[in-house]
Structure 1
Amino acid sequence: METPLLNGGDGNRLKAENGDYAEVKSISEAAAVFKEETGKLWKIATPLVFNIVCQYATNSLTNIFVGHLGELELSAISISMSVINTFAFGFMLGMGSALETLCGQAFGAGQVHMLGVYMQRSWIILLLSSLVLLPIYVFAAPVLKFLGQDPDVANLSGQFTILTIPSLFSLAINFPTQKFLQAQSKVNVMAWIGFIVLIEHAVLLWLFIAVLGWGLRGAAVAFNFTRWVTAIAQVVYVFVWCKDAWTGFSWAAFNEMWAFVRLSIASAVMLCLEIWYMMSITLLAGHLPNAVITIGSLSICTNINGLQFMIFIGINAAVSVRVSNELGLQHPRATKYSVFVAVFQSIIIGLLCLVIILITKDHFAIIYTDSKELQQAVSKLAWLLGVTMVLNSIQPVISGVAVGGGWQATVANINLACYYVFGLPLGYILGYVAHLGVMGLWSGMIAGTLLQTFILLFILYKTNWNKEVEESSSRMQKWAGQDINADKIGDDI
């Protein structure tokens, strides 16, 4: 039996007695829910989007400054950023995303004290993960050559990648701390840190490259410094201003480490299969004729696409917070409505991005390069970029729902099938067998993304949110019980 709508103001009228939404039975009620959920979503998403865009803009600024040094330098740093750095970024972000599920649901369930323990555990796991990824940075040049990249581009890219090794370890601190703050909706401070760091990065790039003439070395120094400033600033905020969720270092961080690793790996695989998918087109394009122009034009498009993707990574995080918090509170309807509102609004934003790209297709490449040949090549790819941006507006939001609900393994399997069994082979056939070049590669990969999007939308449509609430409650009881025992062991020691 449905709980009747309560009397009172608009907010109370929509609420059932347990704090969840009552059943929506009219257009006016649906509009009121839409308005309320929109406010909740963007209260979290706006500072998160701003922070993530600022972080990604540090990459874009680096590309812009280096791009004006020459076409070879632009291709080299683009390969390093889009292949090696993206590989590591995706893996580390995915490993840290386990915290979105656990911290978000724990916060919703009122187990705030567990957030600090989860964050410490994630720090340990990600620092060890950094050591695992280190050889990829050290041997970047031979790895890129093995993957078929132009030797000159690979050698210069390898030199830059080695110089950015310190930035890798900053991610191990940065991502868990972000998830810790996101789960509590303490996102405004992250926006301020992102903004200040972006300005600092621009100043350092200008000083090291334009004034001191350090070239790629200056870009690497600025990149490392910026990432560590971000990580340290967030940790300081946690230690000083998050007393409820941070109660100091605990032996509980070492308890049930392997179970936490399994959830982290599932999150990493899910996210990496998404991020590496677009990375693979850059690798395949390196085998096409006129590799420098091909990679350069593609890198400009993927850089812009990546900027838009980062916006939706911010919305992804906000949706994850909303879903995990509401599941922790045992509110199935609020979970469902928050998902529907986020997906609808993301599609609208994606369509707007498509229109903007098509209108400016002959001009936006000027920001990245002075080469007329590169600008013309980018213009030809603009419509593919626009379609990709529409799909990218939906897919990260659904992934955020998956993280908030703990569906990482299911989505990882779907990504593997759609992207690497269907999309990537189709792109290879269109690009190399049908001789359509980079447009064929990209078209095939768009087909894979389209298939994945339809499957995930169908899963969302069929989801039983009452069952998801039950599973969330069971998960919290399991993890909370383990960590209580761990604290006792730590006290005994």
Structure 2
Amino acid sequence: MEKENLEEQRDCLESPLIPQSQQGFAKDEILGEVKKQLLLAGPLVSVNFLVFALQLISVMFVGHLGNLPLSGASMATSFASVTGFSLLKGMASALDTFCGQSFGAKQYHMLGIHLQGSLLVLLTASIPLAFIWANAASILLFFGQDPEIAAEAGKYARFMLPSIFGFAIQECHIRFLQAQNNVVPMMIISGFTTLLHILVCWILVFKSGLGNKGAALANAFSYWTNALLLVLYVRTSPSCKKTWTGYSMEAFYGILKFLKLSIPSAIMLSLNTCSTIYMIPLGLSAAVSTRASNELGAGRPRAARLAICVTLLMVVTEGTVIGTVMISGRKYWGYLYSKDEQVVKYVGQMLLLIAAAHLIDGIQSVLTGVARGCGWQKIGAWINLGAYHLIGTPCSVLLAFVYHLGGKGLWTGLIVALFVQAVCLAIVTLNIKWEEEAKKAVNRATNS
């Protein structure tokens, strides 16, 4: 049956109807795609926000212990995100290509094989990353951070060490389920974990006497809780019966292929900004990656192109609305973290720049999702490296340290990098030959 499906896909790709992928889209097609995107992106946005909220809630609890614990926890959280969480999330996103296209090609058993391979790679990668976290204080001091803040951040990072392994397991299972459009269970599990996290944080921060170290331990507890619940669901749910068929030695054979996409994927994602409201375009990015990879794997390039157009329209609308809300509420947001008026005022000033960055970041995030769905992570990685290191970083350094604009200068440089990245990804996307990408996707699924 699977061979017949693949033959039908190839026949479709070779048919004279393929040029229709360059034609316009009917109203019913657009509305149908919007519905599919919302049903997929809505739960994904919720999952991304709820997972990110674990760190956010912890920092909020610590903020009420004083400015030094808040600074240490914020520094440690940023350090952990850049050196661990973002790298693992990026590596796991290679499953967007492998699982998404295999699911579209109806090679269901391969999703479980890809999941096992990704777990082996990410858990192995977590070992050296944990070593980096254990030495966070020394690393921050080396780069000139204030000794007191570096010491606080180092303590927080060490107590977060178990988080990295739970996070790796969690991300692999999220991508596995996402590729099958099986997203509601993830939302329910993440919601339960986040509610539990609030209680655990309150106990460990205020009642146990651990202070900010308790918040770090709460993170570890919640990431592992989320991971284990996802593992339990995948292993026992009837909806995963076709895609999880048990452990197999075949997982070892695909590790090299996974690494070839996971490393560029990590570069693509790690260099992107990550904030609370970024969870919305991140969900849309995941949705378009899933939709594009599913449709390309099924040999339907025109449907993949429609999915991308619809998602871009949605993310521009979202960016405009959210940016307006952020600018309107900039004078009050800081009170969630601190009662210090200077902190609140500075947060308000930064939100003006963050609002502009959010719109551009949303566009590049969706285009990055297109890259993952099509399987050209290497191109995306080179664009990201060039945009950030050749253009964005020099601009940030110049504005922050030469013209003494501080954090505002750093964010302005980031906005420049995001703009360059979005433009370059847009140029690549506009030049995609969809029929060729569909053929590649079918061949990749067949030869997995």
- Per the normalisation by structure 1, the TM-score is 0.85
Code of the residue aligned with 2:207 in structure 1: it is V
Q: Quick one: which of 138, 142, 154 aligns to 1:142?
A: 138
Code of the residue aligned with 2:195 in structure 1: it is I
Q: Quick one: which of 126, 138, 159 aligns to 1:163?
A: 159
Partners of 2:308 and 2:370 within 8 A in 1: yes
Partner of 1:464: 433
What's the CA shift for 1:166?
A: 0.6
Code of the residue aligned with 2:367 in structure 1: it is I
- Aligned partners of 1:85 and 1:165: how far apart in 2? 12
Partner of 1:49: 45
What's the CA shift for 1:23?
A: 6.1
1:89 and 2:58 correspond: no
Partner of 1:488: none
Q: Deviations over 1:222-249 (max 9, x none)?
A: 1111000000000001100121111111
1:412 and 2:381 correspond: yes
Partners of 1:273 and 1:412 within 8 A in 2: no
Q: Quick one: which of 302, 308, 316 aligns to 2:285?
A: 316
Q: Deviations over 1:132-161 (max 9, x none)?
A: 212101111001111111110001100110
Q: State the secondary structure of the residue aligned to 1:81.
A: helix
Greater C-alpha radius of gyration:
1
1:443 and 2:412 correspond: yes
Q: Quick one: which of 226, 246, 249 aligns to 1:248?
A: 246
- Per the normalisation by structure 2, the TM-score is 0.93
Partner of 1:60: 56
- Aligned partners of 2:437 and 2:263: how far apart in 1? 21
What's the CA shift for 1:358?
A: 1.1
Partners of 1:353 and 1:386 within 8 A in 2: yes
What's the CA shift for 1:100?
A: 1.0
Code of the residue aligned with 1:100 in structure 2: it is D
Partners of 1:398 and 1:456 within 8 A in 2: yes
- Aligned partners of 2:398 and 2:382: how far apart in 1? 23
1:338 and 2:307 correspond: yes
Q: State the secondary structure of the residue aligned to 1:306.
A: coil
Partner of 1:455: 424
- Aligned partners of 1:361 and 1:93: how far apart in 2? 29
Q: Deviations over 1:322-361 (max 9, x none)?
A: 0000001111110001001101110110011111111111
- Aligned partners of 1:455 and 1:85: how far apart in 2? 25
Map 1:366-385 onto structure 2 (within 5 A): 366-385=335-354
1:104 and 2:100 correspond: yes
Partner of 2:7: none
What's the CA shift for 1:265?
A: 1.4
Q: Quick one: which of 88, 110, 122 aligns to 1:126?
A: 122
Partners of 2:21 and 2:301 within 8 A in 1: no
Partners of 1:24 and 1:30 within 8 A in 2: no
Q: State the secondary structure of the residue aligned to 2:278.
A: helix
Partners of 1:194 and 1:230 within 8 A in 2: yes
- Aligned partners of 2:399 and 2:390: how far apart in 1? 15
Partner of 1:77: 73
Partners of 2:113 and 2:251 within 8 A in 1: yes
- Aligned partners of 1:231 and 1:171: how far apart in 2? 7
Q: State the secondary structure of the residue aligned to 2:276.
A: helix
Which has the higher mean CA deviation after the structures are superposed, 210-219 or 421-430? 210-219
Q: Quick one: which of 196, 200, 204 aligns to 2:196?
A: 200
Partner of 1:114: 110
Code of the residue aligned with 1:83 in structure 2: it is F
- Aligned partners of 2:73 and 2:314: how far apart in 1? 34
What's the CA shift for 1:18?
A: 11
Q: Deviations over 1:111-131 (max 9, x none)?
A: 001111110111111111011
What's the CA shift for 1:395?
A: 1.4
Partner of 2:361: 392
What's the CA shift for 1:25?
A: 6.5
- Aligned partners of 1:23 and 1:217: how far apart in 2? 55
Partners of 1:347 and 1:394 within 8 A in 2: yes
Partners of 2:292 and 2:307 within 8 A in 1: yes
Please report the RMSD computed on the Cα atoms of aligned residues, expressed in angstroms.
1.8
Query: Measured at CA, do residues 99 and 19 of structure 1 come closer, stay the same or move farther in structure 2, by a change above 3 Å?
Result: farther
1:31 and 2:13 correspond: no
What's the CA shift for 1:394?
A: 1.0
Partners of 1:88 and 1:168 within 8 A in 2: yes
What's the CA shift for 1:272?
A: 1.8
Q: Quick one: which of 266, 269, 274 aligns to 2:267?
A: 269
Partners of 2:108 and 2:243 within 8 A in 1: yes
What's the CA shift for 1:20?
A: 9.0
Q: State the secondary structure of the residue aligned to 1:308.
A: coil
Aligned residues: 432
Q: State the secondary structure of the residue aligned to 2:275.
A: helix
Code of the residue aligned with 2:420 in structure 1: it is L
Code of the residue aligned with 2:404 in structure 1: it is H
